[in-house]
Chains A and B, each alone.
Chain A
Amino acid sequence: EAGVVQSPRYKIIEKKQPVAFWCNPISGHNTLYWYRQNLGQGPELLIRYENEEAVDDSQLPKDRFSAERLKGVDSTLKIQPAELGDSAVYLCASSKRGGADTQYFGPGTRLTVL
């Protein structure tokens, strides 16, 4: 069974530029998560999807971040415009359902904003 796929693995952009991250969850997993992980810290949830519905986006900076999960499968996270403080690793995870179900993570996208 294929794991969670993320692309790109690395991205370097200048501030004020847009950037997008893509995630393909494990087949059959209804719940998808986007996290941001700053260096030396634990992951911080940005948004959680149940199928195609965003059910928890309270930590998503909506002035510059947007996300979508078309048809309840793949998801894209976008930042426009990027700021220096957005440099971090962006992790995507999926689980069969939310709650107590184990989350399986992708390798992450390391974003550097110059």
Chain B
Amino acid sequence: AQKITQTQPGMFVQEKEAVTLDCTYDTSDPSYGLFWYKQPSSGEMIFLIYQGSYDQQNATEGRYSLNFQKARKSANLVISASQLGDSAMYFCAMTKLIWGAGTKLIIKP
């Protein structure tokens, strides 16, 4: 069965520090993709980054990068130089429309 696990229910990080949000997944599909979304307190889900299972390089989008380790079935999101506006819920999801429970990230000034 397809499954996404986010083991960190909540995290506190000092502003300007880098932060890593964990995501592990389980799938038997040979081809798949992994997404990360941000959901601020306003409620809207915002797309951050995508990684395809056959992509040769780890995805990057500005301050966001994805540490993809296929053998370990992990797709961790790395946010460099965190900002106060990064405080939000972060969700990892697969192309089979399976979502994790999320991690609540709080950036401290």
Interface residues of A (CB under 8 A from B): 33, 40-45, 48, 56, 89, 91, 93, 99-100, 102-108, 110
Categorize the interface residue count of chain B: 20 to 34
Interchain CB contact under 8 A, B102 and A41: yes
Interchain CB contact under 8 A, B50 and A102: yes
CA distance A105 to B100 in the complex (A): 17
Which residues of chain B (26-59) have a CB below 8 Å from chain A?
Answer: 33, 35, 37, 42-47, 50, 52
Interchain CB contact under 8 A, A102 and B93: no
Q: Which residues of A contact B50 (CB under 8 A)?
A: 100, 102
Among A41, A105, A110, point to the contact of B45 (Cβ < 8 A): A105
Interface residues of B (CB under 8 A from A): 4, 33, 35, 37, 42-47, 50, 52, 91, 93, 95, 97, 99-102
Q: Which residues of B contact A102 (CB under 8 A)?
A: 35, 47, 50
CA distance A100 to B54 in the complex (A): 12
Q: Which residues of A contact B102 (CB under 8 A)?
A: 40-42
Knowing A42-B100, A56-B97, the reply to whether A108 touches B43 (Cβ < 8 A) is yes
CA distance A106 to B46 in the complex (A): 9
> Which 7 A-B residue pairs are closest in the complex by CB-CB distance?
A42-B99, A105-B45, A100-B33, A45-B97, A107-B44, A102-B47, A108-B43
